[in-house]
A = this chain, B = another copy of it.
Amino acid sequence: MLKIAIIGFGNAGRAWANAIEDASGIALVQIYNRNTIGNSRHLALLTNDLSALKPADLYLVCVSDRAVAEIGAALPFENRLVAHTAGSLPAQALGNKNRAAVCYPLQTFSQHRAVAFSQVPICLEAQDDADLRTLETFARALSQNVQYLDAEARKKLHLAAVFVCNFTNHLYAIGADLCQQQRLPFDLLRPLILETALKAQTMEPSSAQTGPAVRQDLQVMESHLAMLSNDIHKQLYTLLSGAIQQHGNKL
C-alpha cells in the first residue's frame, strides 16, 4: 500500500484527496495546509505543522506554482520522493533536498465539483526509474491515462490547456455577458457548449469549424461587430475571426 501525503489543500488538493481515498492500492496518510480548516471528510488527516509530517512514499505538492519553491525548501526532511503537480514548472523547482518529481494532471479543478480522475491524463516525470515506478503505481491507481513527459513537452501541453480550458471558459463568460445584456438566460447556450465539446471528442477541431468566419460571411460579421459594445469583445471578435479564416487557408 503506497502511502501518500498531500501538501496544499486548495481545489486541486481536495480533488486529489477525494480521488486517492476512493482508489485502491494507495492510501492518503496526511494533508498539510497552512490553515487546517477543511471539510469533515478530511479533518482527521489535516495538519498545519510541516514538522509533523509523517513518513510517506510520495509527498504530492498541490500548492500554487509560486509557492512550490518555498514549500520545497521548507520541508523538514531529505531524500524523499516529492512531486509537484504544476504543468509549467520543472521538477527542480522543488529544490534538491528531496527527490523532486512531477505528477501533472491535465484537468481543471473547481470548488464544489468532483472530478472523475479515471480519464484524466496524468503526466509523470522523475529522476530515476525507481521513483518513476512509484509515481506510476500511484497514477495508475487513479487514471487509465498515464503519460511520461519531460518538462518541455509538459509546459507546451499546459499552454495548450490554457487555450482549450481557461480561454474557452472565458468565451463562455462572454456568452453569458451577452445573454445578460439581452436578458436571456445563459441556459440557452448550455446545449451548444456541450455539443461543441462533444464534437471535439471525435472530430479534428479544424474540420469541425462552423460559423460566419469560416463561411467568409462578411455581412454577418459586420453586423456582429456593430452589436458589440465592449472594446475587448470587439478586438476578440476581429482577432478570432481572422485566425479562423487564416487557419482555413493554411489547411
Contacts and interface: CB of A to CB of B under 8 A. Distances in A.
Interface stretch (A26-34, A72-80, A94-102, A217-225): A217-225
Contacts of A160: 174-175, 178-179, 184, 189
Contacts of A195: 107-108, 115, 165
A44 interface: no
A240 interface: yes
Contact of A193 (B145, B175, B201): B201
Nearest to A246: B232
Interface stretch (A17-25, A47-55, A127-135, A149-157): A149-157
A227 interface: yes
A108 B196 contact: yes
B192 A164 contact: yes
Contacts of A153: 182, 184
A173 B207 CA distance: 9
Contacts of A121: 188, 191
A165 B210 contact: yes
A171 B182 contact: no
Given A110-B210, A198-B194, A240-B236, A167 B159 contact: no
A35 interface: no
Interface string A100-129: 000000111110010100011100000000
A121 B190 CA distance: 10
A213 B220 CA distance: 31
A84 to B, nearest CB: 13
- For the complex of A and B, the 9 pairs showing the least CB-CB separation, nearest first, are A166-B211, A197-B197, A172-B205, A173-B205, A164-B175, A160-B178, A160-B175, A156-B182, A119-B191
Interface of A: 11, 64-66, 88, 106-110, 113, 115, 119-121, 145, 147, 149, 152-153, 155-176, 178-179, 181-182, 184, 186, 188-215, 217, 219-220, 223-224, 227-228, 232, 235-237, 239-240, 242-244, 246-247
22 contacts: A65-B212, A106-B191, A107-B191, A110-B210, A113-B202, A145-B191, A156-B179, A156-B184, A158-B224, A159-B227, A159-B228, A161-B175, A161-B189, A162-B224, A163-B172, A163-B178, A163-B236, A167-B240, A169-B200, A170-B240, A170-B243, A174-B243
